Structure 1
Amino acid sequence: MVEQAHAGQKPQPGGPLGEVGALVDGGDMDCGSGLLLLITRAMRRLEAGQLLGVRSAEVSVVTDLPAWADLIGHEVVTEVAESADGPWWFAVRKAGRPAAAVTVFTPGERMPVGRRLWIYTNFDCNLACAYCCAESSPKAAARRFGTDLATEVFGEFTAQGGREVLFTGGEPFMHPELGALIAAADGLERTVLTNGMIFGKGTRRETLENLDRDVVLQISLDSATPEVHDRQRGAGSWNRAVDGITLARSLGFRVRVAATLYDEDPQGVEALHHRLDAAGIAMPDRIIRPVAHEGFADKGVHVSLEGLEPEPTLTADGAWWHPVAVTDPHMRIADAPLPLSEVFGVVRDTLAVQDAAAQSGREVFRCA
């Protein structure tokens, strides 16, 4: 098995390390980004005592990989450099009982992994927002999440104690089987993130009206007046979003309103709160969040594996650390959405290492 960071890399089965149980080619990734997820996933698939081969062209890995192994309880048994400037090859023997897996942490510090799951229903959208982290637009490939896959996912999610699922996109109401996807998650807390613009007519109106009323609709509204919202999302989008909020509430849905802002101008935020007060949107149903420097955004908050709390996210073709990072190859957990046990397991193992590093005062995962 070869885990690769970049398409086109085809290292020999172990290179200068000889035979190994699995080989991870991390390219120029460091331990603060995608390499940590790759080696964690690969190590989970090995038996105790087997060797994991790691190839890296990133010099920081020479220091960080042994530190990672030491925290877990694994052993780096071989390190070979092709030249003084790399790349470097490592053979790491899997521990019988990883140390980080038995570390005791203070409960309540974060949402338990496996309680919440995000689903990208599709990636096509009627808008091309300037800050879209998913790079969705009318021209984007749909990459639709299938109903059979959803049934399998939610069955496993429920069996593992899952409680909440959030459907996002793209624009979910452009998925022709959105109603069936949501119905497949019956019994879970369900929220659909939407721009609120296209569910007012035709078959999409039928989909909306047929949804259970315990489904929550989270509708995007970036400002109290059209200026900021339309600048970020497109001319006329503010009026249609407001109409969508009004329609959804008139049909008996609980509506949350989410604003995404480059600069959280206090006066603009205050004005938005006043408008939502007048609309009857309760304070707990209001979300104001910054733009993440991902996808289409040319600025915003930097996100990384080290600084971003995990929100496991599934697409039709993989699993990711967080919904804002589905265009970042460094944040990819797996190349397929199932099995969920592996997706959640990689996240838990990664958090255990991060927590162990923090408790020991060691800086292992440098992101810059």
Structure 2
Amino acid sequence: MAQPTDPDRAPNPLGEVAALVDGGDMDCGSGLLLLITRAMRRLEPGQLLGVRSAEVSVVTDLPAWADLTGHDVVTELAESAQGPWWFAVSKSGASTRPGTVFSQGQRTPVGRRLWVYTNFNCNLACSYCCAESSPKAVARRFDPAVATAAFAEFRPQGGREVFFTGGEPFMHPELGALVAAGTGLDRTVLTNGMIFHRGTRRDILENLDRDVVLQISLDSATPELHDRQRGAGSWSKAVDGIELARSLGFRVRVAATLYDEDPQGVEALHRRLDDAGIASEDRVIRPVAQEGFATEGLHVSLDSLEPEPTLTADGAWWHPVAVTNPHLRIADAPLPLSEVFGVVRDTLAVQDAAARSGREVFRCA
């Protein structure tokens, strides 16, 4: 699917607008909804947002979105019968129609949990890596100063949990500072458990607070599947990492990533974790998402993913499995966090209003 194009390069038949969004051939079930939500939040009531789209479903969906949010489509133009289409939308005085009540149901409340990609380089190149991490990947390290600012904003908003992932976090030379910036929050570091056995990385490990949870990847009870997915010899090193972390007093959570939940394989893994003394609540079985390196797996979209706001050095994203998907990008910078959470809340409000009204305004390509 095409990327959004640069609106400055496209002729604008709408006249003067306060902001212009060009969604390429995105639809309202993918990245266009996030783009227009973010842009509309930055406007004052009465200002016009210009929207250009080459996706025919937007002709129906964008007016439905405007109706749900209380905004007004004041102009609609087509360059030809086949599009693309242009819209001018006037911002209302509220982000949603009066009387619309947003209920989060069983969702984790937005603002309680945050993910941070510490870096994108990794000692492994797992076949299903959603982040396209590998030894050759550009590190794109998260700055500890940005983490400090993000967590300072996160805590007063009800922030409780932060997850540090990658890449391989222990390849970030300032991982200790990143994790320390989150002191006072429930902190979890996701790692393959292979490289913190010695040297400066061992020092980083030993200097972490013992209330930090280490989530270590182990895809199978025996090496065959794990090594096939992650690389020869990685299973035994991960097992050693689990044992080392526990010997140092860390709580260890074990996570398996599987294409198919083979009952016998999952049962065997549970037996091994029973023998290792890993508590049942510290076991995570998760499916492969068809993102990044994965050519198969679960399709993800705004409709299928509950939001897990995620910060990287490059911006903010809807969910940690989608950081290579431009359609699920929330912002071009990780800060301010209030804007990231605001876009998520506004998007959820529209989704919930659509569901209550029975509208189908979010067609995922």
> Alpha-carbon deviation of 1:263?
1.0
Residue 298 of structure 2, aligned match among 301, 312, 331: 301
CA distance in 2 between counterparts of 1:256 and 1:93 reads: 49
1:50 partner letter: Q
CA distance in 2 between counterparts of 1:306 and 1:107 reads: 14
CA distance in 2 between counterparts of 1:257 and 1:239 reads: 14
> Alpha-carbon deviation of 1:103?
2.2
Where in structure 2 are the equivalents of 1:65-80 lying within 5 Å? 65-80=62-77
In structure 2, the residue matched to 1:185 is 182
In structure 1, the residue matched to 2:9 is 11
CA distance in 1 between counterparts of 2:282 and 2:193 reads: 16
SS of equivalent residue, structure 1 residue 304: coil
Question: Any conservation in 1 of the 2:75–2:87 contact (CA below 8 Å)?
Answer: yes
In structure 2, the residue matched to 1:268 is 265
Question: Any conservation in 2 of the 1:263–1:290 contact (CA below 8 Å)?
Answer: yes
Where in structure 2 are the equivalents of 1:1-368 lying within 5 Å? 5-6=3-4, 10-11=8-9, 15-100=12-97, 102-106=99-103, 108-368=105-365
Question: Any conservation in 1 of the 2:253–2:283 contact (CA below 8 Å)?
Answer: yes
> Alpha-carbon deviation of 1:88?
0.5
Q: 1:186 to 1:88 in 2, by over 3 A?
A: same
CA distance in 2 between counterparts of 1:207 and 1:187 reads: 19
Q: 1:290 to 1:107 in 2, by over 3 A?
A: closer
Question: Any conservation in 2 of the 1:100–1:353 contact (CA below 8 Å)?
Answer: no
Moved more, 100-109 or 302-311: 100-109
Deviations 1:235-280 (A, max 9, x none): 0000000000000000000000000001110000000000000000
TM-score, structure 1 normalization = 0.97
**How many matched pairs?**
364
> Alpha-carbon deviation of 1:100?
4.8
CA distance in 2 between counterparts of 1:242 and 1:53 reads: 54
> Alpha-carbon deviation of 1:105?
4.1
Question: Any conservation in 2 of the 1:11–1:25 contact (CA below 8 Å)?
Answer: no
CA distance in 2 between counterparts of 1:235 and 1:155 reads: 41
Question: Any conservation in 1 of the 2:4–2:26 contact (CA below 8 Å)?
Answer: no
1:201 partner letter: R
Question: Any conservation in 1 of the 2:5–2:24 contact (CA below 8 Å)?
Answer: no
SS of equivalent residue, structure 1 residue 206: helix
CA distance in 1 between counterparts of 2:148 and 2:38 reads: 24
2:354 partner letter: A
CA distance in 1 between counterparts of 2:103 and 2:332 reads: 32
Deviations 1:156-211 (A, max 9, x none): 11122211100000000000000000001111110000000000000000000000
1:348 partner letter: R
Stretches of structure 2 lacking an aligned partner (at least 5 in a row):
none
Question: Any conservation in 2 of the 1:29–1:330 contact (CA below 8 Å)?
Answer: yes
TM-score, structure 2 normalization = 0.97
Q: Runs in 1 of length 4+ with deviation above 6 angstroms?
A: none
Question: Any conservation in 1 of the 2:21–2:35 contact (CA below 8 Å)?
Answer: yes
> Alpha-carbon deviation of 1:107?
5.3
RMSD: 1.3
Question: Any conservation in 1 of the 2:5–2:23 contact (CA below 8 Å)?
Answer: no
Stretches of structure 1 lacking an aligned partner (at least 5 in a row):
none
